[in-house]
Amino acid sequence: MAILETNDLSIQFGGLKAVSHLDLKIEKGELYGLIGPNGAGKTTVFNMLTGVYQPTGGTIYLDGVCLNGKNPVEINKLGIARTFQNIRLFGKMSVLDNVRVGFGNSIKYSLLESFFHVGRYRKNEKVVTEKAIELLKVFDLDGEKDTLASNLPYGKQRKLEIARAMATNPKLLLLDEPAAGMNPNETAELMNTIRFVRDNFDMTILLIEHDMKLVGGICEKLTVLNFGTELAKGNTAEVLHDPRVITAYIGEDE
């Protein structure tokens, strides 16, 4: 069974059809790319998948559970985590704390235990801190665990966003332009990290990207959006050679 399935997914803002009739089917463990020119509606799709916007038509199923009508918090608990195109870290919190926020729902202790640091607090905090540092190591951020997130260099901020999303223990990870603003070296390193995450955490990843090298390099399947509708989909190599895609998107680029 597909881990994520959308049928006829549509959203309209006033008279504007931002996304219409989108069918996405992502299997477990896939690295799936959602590409398209600016304004094609890619981030809008993410916003619908995560409950920021409610679709005006169609359905979203995550692992068999319908996500329509659910809010972002519920959807995160059901197993979708995301990063943001315009980085949205918890800037005044430390790198470690950013990740520990992600672990928030996987540890249980009461407010009273927090007030006095007793009971389950001690054990759970210890576990969560260890897990968080382990995760930071994957992203090569453990050396900066006490740095404020807003003081990190740009590339590391993007990585921290992925680490924080991973901390919520998702079934599906949504990455919104993870390589935006990175130089070729950083992008190459990021590609390795994304692959590593997929392989070692058995993660399913859906990513939005402009960088064709990154898309071609790591995505197995693609859906191309243009003006809110699906232009093409299928295996990466085929889609990237589709003449319609080249005219609509890549032709523009080169």
Partner 1 sequence: MSSFFSYLIAGISLGGIYALIALGYTMVYGIAKMLNFAHGDVIMIGGYVAFTAISTMQQPVWIAVPCAIIACILLGVVIEKVAYKPLRSATPLAVLITAIGVSYLLQNVALLIFGSQARNFTSVVPDDFSVSLGSINISGETVVTILASVAIMVALTLFVNHTKSGKAMQAVSEDRGAAQLMGINVNRTISLTFAIGSALAGVASVLLCSTYPQISPYTGAMPGIKAFTAAVFGGIGSIPGAMIGGVVLGVIENLSKAYISSELSDAIVFAVLIIVLLVKPTGLLGKKINEKV
Partner 2 sequence: MKKFTLSKPAKDRYITYGMLAVIALVVQLYITYGDASRSFKGLLVPTCVYILAAIALNLVVGISGELSLGQAGFMCIGAYVGSTFSVMTEELIASSALRFPLALLLGGMVAAVFGFLIGIPVLRLRGDYLAIVTLAFGEIIKSVFNNIYLSTDKNGLFFSIGVESKANHEFDAATQVDYIKGAMGISGTPRDSTFLICMVVIFIAMFVMLNFIDSKQGRAVMASRDNRIAAEAMGVNVTRAKMTAFVMSAFFAGVAGVLYSHNLNTLQASTFNYNLSIQILVFVVLGGMTKMRSVMIATIILYVLPEALRGFNLSNYRMLIYAIALIAMMLINNSAAIKRVREFLRAKFARNKNVGGEV
Contact positions toward partner 1, by CB under 8 A?
43, 47, 52, 84
Residue among 70 and 233 whose Cβ is closer to partner 2: 70
Give least dist CB 91 to partner 2, A. Answer: 5
The sign of the torsion formed by the CA atoms of 217, 219, 220, 223 equals negative
Distance CA 174, CA 222 (A): 14
Give least dist CB 89 to partner 2, A. Answer: 7
Which secondary-structure segment (H or E) carries 166? helix 154-167
List, in order, residues 6 or more apart from 113 with CB less than 8 Å away. 119, 120, 121
Q: Which does 43 bind (CB under 5 to 8 A by kind): partner 2, partner 1, none?
A: partner 1
Q: Which does 235 bind (CB under 5 to 8 A by kind): partner 1, partner 2, none?
A: none
CA dihedral 4, 164, 224, 10 (to 10 degrees): 60
How many secondary structure helices (H) and strands (E) does the chain include? 11, 10
Residue among 205 and 232 whose Cβ is closer to partner 2: 205
Q: Which residues bind partner 2 (CB under 8 A)?
A: 50, 52, 71-73, 76-77, 81-82, 84, 88-93, 97-98, 100-105, 107, 109, 111, 114-117, 121, 124-125, 128-129, 146, 164-165, 167-168
Q: Which does 245 bind (CB under 5 to 8 A by kind): partner 1, partner 2, none?
A: none
Q: By the 8 A CB rule, do 34 and 9 touch?
A: no
**DSSP calls for 110-163:** -HHHHHHT-THHHHHHHHHHHHHHHHHHHTT-GGGTTSBGGGS-HHHHHHHHHH
Residue among 47 and 98 whose Cβ is closer to partner 1: 47
Give least dist CB 84 to partner 2, A. Answer: 7
Q: Which does 121 bind (CB under 5 to 8 A by kind): partner 1, partner 2, none?
A: partner 2
Query: Tokens for 97?
Result: 């704390």
CA distances from 231 to 7, 150, 165, 223 (A): 16, 38, 29, 8
Residue among 10 and 47 whose Cβ is closer to partner 1: 47
Residue among 10 and 47 whose Cβ is closer to partner 2: 47
Give least dist CB 47 to partner 1, A. Answer: 6
Q: Which amino acid is at 195?
A: R
Residue among 161 and 242 whose Cβ is closer to partner 2: 161
